[in-house]
Amino acid sequence: MGALAGPFVVAALILGLGGALEMIRPAATVGAMRAMGLPSSPLAVRVGAAAAVGVSALAVVWPARVVALAVAVAYVFLSGFVLAALLRRAPLGSCGCFGRDDTPARRGSAVRLR
């Protein structure tokens, strides 16, 4: 991985941190999913967040290409959700980032690291 190892690990850790906090406080993400008309429950959010934590941990201990692809897919999914919410002008009080209610979705949220 070379020169990209540092940024990759940081991106993976941010993904894991966000997932861990969403596992603890899933309400903001549940609300964001409901605002988009998606089926949602605290359990579903926690399962998805646990997957993010798992991918993050795997990326740190085994930074193989397939794991890097999983991290990229997670970010594409999260960015797609934010973009869809912005395009639909969904009334999101929060994108659910980091399990907090005061993290509104903005245009930059779709392109920067969460």
Q: Which tens digit of pLDDT belongs to each residue from 25-80?
A: 999 889 889 989 998 899 999 999 999 999 999 999 998 999 999 999 999 999 99
Residue range(s) defining the domain that contains residue 69: 2-110
Q: Which tens digit of pLDDT belongs to each residue from 59-71?
A: 999 989 999 999 9
**Integer-rounded Cα radius of gyration of the chain:** 14
Q: How many domains does the chain have?
A: 1
Q: Burial letters for 15-38: b for 16+ Cβ neighbours within 10 Å, e otherwise?
A: bbbbbbbbbebbebbbbbbebeee
* CA–CA distance, 109 with 112 (Å, rounded to integer): 6
Q: Which tens digit of pLDDT belongs to each residue from 78-106?
A: 999 888 988 988 866 655 555 554 555 55
Residue type, 82: V
The answer, as to whether pTM is greater than 0.85, is no
